[in-house]
Structure 1
Amino acid sequence: MSEQKLSRKKGHRTSLRRNLLKSLIINERIVTTLPKAKYLIPLAEKVFRLAQKGNLASRQRIESFLAGKGKAYKKLIEYWPAKLVGRKTGFVKYVKLGQRKGDSAEMAVVEVIGAESPEVLAQAKELKQKASRKAEEAKDA
């Protein structure tokens, strides 16, 4: 399986992966660009699956993914397995938010399934309605 490049060299991509994973684990929700969100989902799924196993080999793999035993590692090992009990896949999802104002980049919220917030879902719904209204106005004009 080939890895997405994201217009970055290998070292920068590795740092980006670790930082995105750590932020997602600690904050339970992050706002990022859509390509980064799509890049993060399979990696996060793998890490959460390893955390659920909880054996020594899994913990060592997680440590290598996150580059150490910091806050993210501890939260992933202690907090998340109990919260995601009974779930085999689908630990992480993303919701499209629309375009960023400055450069029109597609934005998305990536969140762990047990940590959804109604505000983010309402914001996404509002943006979709706004886009459909603009499309209707463009048809009428």
Structure 2
Amino acid sequence: MRHKKRGRRLSRDTSHRQAMIKNMLVSLFKHERIETTVPRAKELRPVAEKVITLGKRGDLHARRQALSILNGDKEVVHKLFTDLAERNKDRQGGYTRILKTRFRYGDCAPMSFIELVERDATSAAE
């Protein structure tokens, strides 16, 4: 029985799943919108919210934690602590949204966009 077991396995072992989530986080913060399957987006959302909250905190310890979570990508961490933290300073959570889009050709998997609510105007045009 799976009582009190949180999260989805996503047909991967633990290290692969964690690496996938980290890579998706980097892509989400870099492009501010990514397309993925609905279960992956639902797994990514709480992690992204916590990392944005770290960015809003803004201290050195939070920066080091974010650097650890985001695979050491300093460019993305800088964007997180400057642009994204500034855009979301008045928002108390709910930094991302999931928009269901289509069913993937081939395996009919439900697809969705996960995007930042406060997106940049230039990236919103894409």
Per the shorter chain, which TM-score range?
Answer: 0.7 to 0.9
Q: Percent same amino acid among aligned pairs?
A: 35
Gapped regions of structure 2 (runs ≥ 5): none
Aligned to 2:15: 11
Equivalent AA in structure 1 for residue 49 of structure 2: E
Q: Is the 8 A contact 2:67 2:74 kept in 1?
A: no
Q: Is the 8 A contact 1:49 1:88 kept in 2?
A: no
Q: Who wins on radius of gyration, i.e. which is larger?
A: 1
Inter-partner Cα distance in structure 2 for 1:10 and 1:94? 24
Structure 1 segments, 4+ long, off by >6 Å, are none
Q: Does 1:86 align with 2:90?
A: yes
Aligned to 2:37: 33
Equivalences for residues 1-141 of structure 1 within 5 A: 2-115=6-119, 117=124
Alpha-carbon deviation of 1:118? 8.2
Inter-partner Cα distance in structure 2 for 1:106 and 1:38? 12
Q: Number of residues paired by the alignment?
A: 119
More RCO (CA 8 Å, sep 6+): 2
Alpha-carbon deviation of 1:6? 1.0
- The TM-score with structure 2 as length reference comes to 0.86
Inter-partner Cα distance in structure 2 for 1:118 and 1:95? 17
Gapped regions of structure 1 (runs ≥ 5): 120-141
Equivalent AA in structure 1 for residue 42 of structure 2: K
Inter-partner Cα distance in structure 2 for 1:104 and 1:113? 27
Alpha-carbon deviation of 1:114? 0.8
| Greater per-residue helix proportion | 1
Matched residue SS, 1:98: strand
- The TM-score with structure 1 as length reference comes to 0.78
